[in-house]
Structure 1
Amino acid sequence: MANVKHLTYEYLLTLGTTESVAKYLNMLGLLIALLIIIFCIDFIIRKLLIGVFSQFASRSKTNFDDLLVANKVPRNIAHIIPLLVALEFISDVFYDFPDFEMVVERGLKVFAIVLTLWIVRSILNTLKDYFKTLPNLKDKPIDSYIQVFMIFAWVIGVLSAIAILTRTPFIHFLTGLGAASAIIILVFKDTILGFVASIQVSINDMVRIGDWITFQKYGADGDVIEINLATVKVQNFDKTITTIPTYALISDSFQNWRGMTNSEGRRIKRALFIKQSGVKYLTEQDVEDLKNIQLLSSYLETRQSDIKSYNETNSINKELLLNGRNLTNLGVFRKYIDTYLKHHSAINKDMMIMARQLAPTTQGIPMEIYAFSSDKRWENYEYIMSDIFDHLLAALPYFDLEVFELPSGGHFIQ
C-alpha cells in the first residue's frame, strides 16, 4: 500500500527533485487521480440509477416513482458511493500531510451530512407531491408537516456539522446548547409559533387548501392555495396573492366560507328601507285593487273575510279605519315578498325563507329578506339577489310605499 501512496514519489526523486517538492507533487498527482476516479464513478452510477428508476417508473402504474425521479432522489443517492470512495482513499492521498488529511476528512464528513439532508429533502418533497395527489389529503397542509421535518433535519445536520468541525462529541455539544436555549427560542420564535399554529389548524380543521376565507385585518378575501409552516397564501378574487402568518389563524378572527360552500344554498340577507310616512291602513277599495296581484289574491280574500267577520261580531265602528282589525299596505307588502320568494325558481325552498320587519331607524323601516339561493356561485348569486330587489323596488308603488332616500341637492331647489 505504501507503493500506492508514493506512486510518483520515488520516480520524482530519481529525477533530482527534492523530497519536499516530491511529496507535494506526489500528493497532487494522487489527488487528481482520485478526483478523476470519483467523477467517473459518480457519472456511471448516476446514469445507471436514473436509467433504472426511469424505466421502472414508465412501467409502473403508480406515479410515486415518477415523482422520485422528478425530485432527483436517484441523482442524490448516486453521490453516496463516490463519497465513500473519497473517505476510503483520502488517507492515502494525504499520507505525508496528516494535517491536510484531517481538514479534508472533516470537510468530507460535513459534505456527507449535507448529502444526507439533500436525500431527505428529496424524499420528503416526493412524499409531499404524492400526498397532494390523494383525494383525502390534497386539502391538508402537507407543506407544513414537510417543513417541520426539514427544520428538525437541518437543525440536527447543522449541529452535527459544527460538532465535527469543533471536534466536540455530539452529546456534549447538545448539552452546551442548553444554556443558549433562550436565545434559540427568540431567534426561532416565528418558526415555533408557525409550527404550533400548523398543528392546531390541522387538528381543528380550521382551514383547508381550497377554502374561501375572508381575513379583513390582512385584506384577504379569496381561496387558500397554500398552507405551510410560516405563511398561508390566499389568492384573492382579483387574482392578487395575500400572505398571512400561519399563527394569525389562531390568534385573530377570520371568516371561513366552507360551511356555506358545503350547504345547499347561499344566504341572501338584505333590507329595503321603507319611508315611514307612507305606511297606512287599507280601505276596502285599496284591498280590491290589490286583489289584481295574483300572488296576493287568495291571501287577501281569506284575510278580508276573517277581518270582516271579526269586526261584525264585535260591532266595530268602521267609520274610522283605526277601529278594529285592519290590513296595512306595509303588512300586505311583507306578505307579497314572502310569497314572491316562495315562488322564485332560484330560491331553495328547503331552507329558511322569511321577510321580516326590523325596528324603525332614522333611515326608515327596514324590510329584510332572509333566504337562500340555490346557486352558490358568486356571479349567479349576485344576479339572483339583484333580480329579486329590482322586482321589489319596482313593486313598491303598487302598495303606495316609497324607499327612503337622503335628500339631494335637487330636493332643495324652489
Structure 2
Amino acid sequence: MYSLNQVSSLLYNYLVEIGLDDVYAKYLNTLILLLLLIIVLYIFDYVLRKIFISVFAKFTSISKTNFDDFLVKNKVPRNVAHIVPIIIAYNAIPFVFNGFIKAQGIILKGLEVFGIVLTLWVVRSLLNTLKDFFKTLPNLKDKPIDSYIQVFMIFLWSIGILLAISILTDIELWKFLTGLGTASAVILLIFKDTILGFVASIQVSINDMVRIGDWISFDNYGADGDVIEINLATVKVQNFDNTITTIPTYALISDSFKNWRGMTNSPGRRIKRALIIKQESINFLAPKDIQKFKKISLITDYIKSRQESITDFNTSNNIDKSILINGRNLTNIGLFRKYADTYLKNHSAINKDMMVMVRQLAPTPQGIPLEVYAFSSDKRWENYEYIMSDIFDHLLAAIPFFDLELFELPSSSSFKNNTKTSLKA
C-alpha cells in the first residue's frame, strides 16, 4: 500500500525517470494534481448538491409544515453541500503542494477564510429561513423580525471578519481585539446609524409603536401609507400613490408621526368637518316661518315639542311677543343644527354606539362654523370618503331650506355681476 505522499509523488518520479528536469517535474506534478483536485471537488460539489436538493424536495412534498419550503427557497441545502468539498480541499492541499510549504500556508489560510465565509452563508440562509417562517405566524408577522436578523448577522459578520483578519495576519484573536479597543471611537462613528437603528428597533418593538401593515403619516418625510418593511436601518412606507418612502428607523423615536392603528382597531372612523354659516342669514323664526319648517319630517315632532314649551314659558311670564327678540324663540340655525343631528342619527352608515354630535363653534371672521362630529361604521378609505361626501351633499343642499347661507369668498364673476347691476342702476 502507498501512503498519500507516495501517491502524490508517483507522477513526479515518472517525469524524472523519463528525463524531465527536477524543477519542471515538480511544478508539472503539482499542476496536474491541482487540476485533478479541482475536478474531484467539482464532481463532489455537483453530486452533493443534487442529492441534498432532491432529498429536501422529496421531504418538503410530504411535510405538512412550510419551514422546509423556506429552507429550499433560501438555498440552505445548496450552501451546506459546499462544506464537504472545502473539507476535502483543506486536507488534500498538503499532498498536492508537497514541497511548496509557503504556497501550502497561503492556500490553507485562503481555505480557512473561505470556510468562515461559507459558514456565514449557511447561517444567513438559516436566519432568512427563520425570518420567512416567523412572518407566516399570526403573532409575529407584524413584528420587526428583519431588524433582529440584521443585528445578529452584523454581529456574526463582525466576528467572521475578525477571525479572517486574525488568520491572515497570524495574530491571536484576543490580542487583535485588545488593539481594536483603541479604535472603538472610530468604530462607533462608522456604525452610528446601525447602533441607532438597533436601539430604535428594540424600542419600537417593546413599546409596540409601529407594526408591519400599520398606516402611518410622517409629515417630515412625506410618508402617508402602509408600513411594508421594518429593518435595522430603515422603515419602508408604501404611500397611497404607490410610491415608497424610506424613513430612518431611529426617526420613529426621535420625531413625531401619526399611527392610524387606533382608528383601524376602533369600531368607527371619525368624520369631523364644519359648515361655515353667514352670520347675517341667522334669524329668529316668526310663527309663519315655524309652520313652513314643520313640513320638514325629520324635525316636525321636535318643532311641535319645542314650540309648546316655548309658548308655555312666554305665556306664564307675560312676555311681549310683538318683538321676536323677547322671551324664548326658535332660530333657523338652531333648527338646522337639530335637523343635521337627526339626519346623522338616522343615517345607516353612522355608528350609533359612538359619539354623534352637531355643534356650533366660536364665531370667526368668515361666519359661524357648524361642525359635524360622528363616526363612520365603514373604515375603508374609499367607502369612508363616499359616506362623508354623501352626508355633506345632503346638508349643503338642505341649508337654503332653512333660509341660511354658506360663507364663500367672492369670485371674479361676483364682481362682474355687481358691476353690471350698478351700471343698470
Give the equivalent residue in structure 1 for 2:423: none
Structure 2 residue 160 is matched with structure 1 residue 162: no
Give the equivalent residue in structure 1 for 2:79: 76
Looking at structure 2, the residues matched to 40 and 376 of structure 1 have their Cα atoms a distance apart, in angstroms, of 61
Structure 2 residue 266 is matched with structure 1 residue 256: no
State the aligned residue count.
414
Residues 124-143 of structure 1 mapped to structure 2, 5 A cutoff: 124-143=127-146
Looking at structure 1, the residues matched to 51 and 408 of structure 2 have their Cα atoms a distance apart, in angstroms, of 80
Structure 1 stretches lacking a partner, 5+ long: none
Structure 2 residue 31 is matched with structure 1 residue 25: no
Give the equivalent residue in structure 1 for 2:152: 149
Describe the superposition over 1:123-173 as per-residue Cα deviations: whole angstroms up to 9, x where unpaired: 011111111111221111111111111111111111111111111111111
Structure 2 residue 186 is matched with structure 1 residue 172: no
Shift of 1:177: 0.8
Determine helix, strand or coil for the equivalent of 1:102: helix
Structure 2 residue identity aligned to 1:326: N
Shift of 1:5: 3.2
Describe the superposition over 1:359-412 as per-residue Cα deviations: whole angstroms up to 9, x where unpaired: 010111100000001111111111111111111111111111000011222332
Structure 1 residue identity aligned to 2:321: K
Describe the superposition over 1:305-325 as per-residue Cα deviations: whole angstroms up to 9, x where unpaired: 111111111111111111111
Looking at structure 2, the residues matched to 44 and 30 of structure 1 have their Cα atoms a distance apart, in angstroms, of 21
Shift of 1:94: 1.5
Give the equivalent residue in structure 1 for 2:366: 363
Give the equivalent residue in structure 1 for 2:342: 339
Shift of 1:188: 1.0
Structure 2 residue 254 is matched with structure 1 residue 243: no
Determine helix, strand or coil for the equivalent of 1:8: helix
Determine helix, strand or coil for the equivalent of 1:366: strand
Shift of 1:262: 0.9
Give the equivalent residue in structure 2 for 1:3: 6
Describe the superposition over 1:347-369 as per-residue Cα deviations: whole angstroms up to 9, x where unpaired: 11000000000001011110000
Determine helix, strand or coil for the equivalent of 2:10: coil
Give the equivalent residue in structure 1 for 2:284: 281
Looking at structure 2, the residues matched to 408 and 79 of structure 1 have their Cα atoms a distance apart, in angstroms, of 77
Determine helix, strand or coil for the equivalent of 1:175: helix
Determine helix, strand or coil for the equivalent of 2:371: strand
Looking at structure 2, the residues matched to 75 and 328 of structure 1 have their Cα atoms a distance apart, in angstroms, of 82
Structure 1 residue identity aligned to 2:23: S
Determine helix, strand or coil for the equivalent of 2:200: helix
Give the equivalent residue in structure 1 for 2:237: 234
Shift of 1:296: 0.7
Structure 2 residue 107 is matched with structure 1 residue 92: no
**What's the TM-score, normalizing by structure 2?**
0.95
Shift of 1:195: 1.0
Structure 2 stretches lacking a partner, 5+ long: 420-425
Greater alpha carbon shift after TM alignment, 170-179 vs 103-112: 170-179
Shift of 1:345: 0.8
Shift of 1:272: 0.2
Structure 1 residue identity aligned to 2:35: I
Give the equivalent residue in structure 1 for 2:375: 372
Determine helix, strand or coil for the equivalent of 1:226: strand
Structure 2 residue identity aligned to 1:213: I
Residue among 296, 299, 323 paired with 1:296: 299
Looking at structure 2, the residues matched to 51 and 379 of structure 1 have their Cα atoms a distance apart, in angstroms, of 49
Structure 1 residue identity aligned to 2:114: F
Looking at structure 2, the residues matched to 167 and 81 of structure 1 have their Cα atoms a distance apart, in angstroms, of 25
Shift of 1:288: 1.4
Structure 2 residue 406 is matched with structure 1 residue 412: no
Shift of 1:330: 0.9
Give the equivalent residue in structure 1 for 2:227: 224
Shift of 1:214: 1.0
Give the equivalent residue in structure 1 for 2:422: none
Residue among 109, 119, 124 paired with 1:121: 124
Question: Percent of counterpart pairs with the same letter?
Answer: 68
Looking at structure 1, the residues matched to 179 and 387 of structure 2 have their Cα atoms a distance apart, in angstroms, of 67
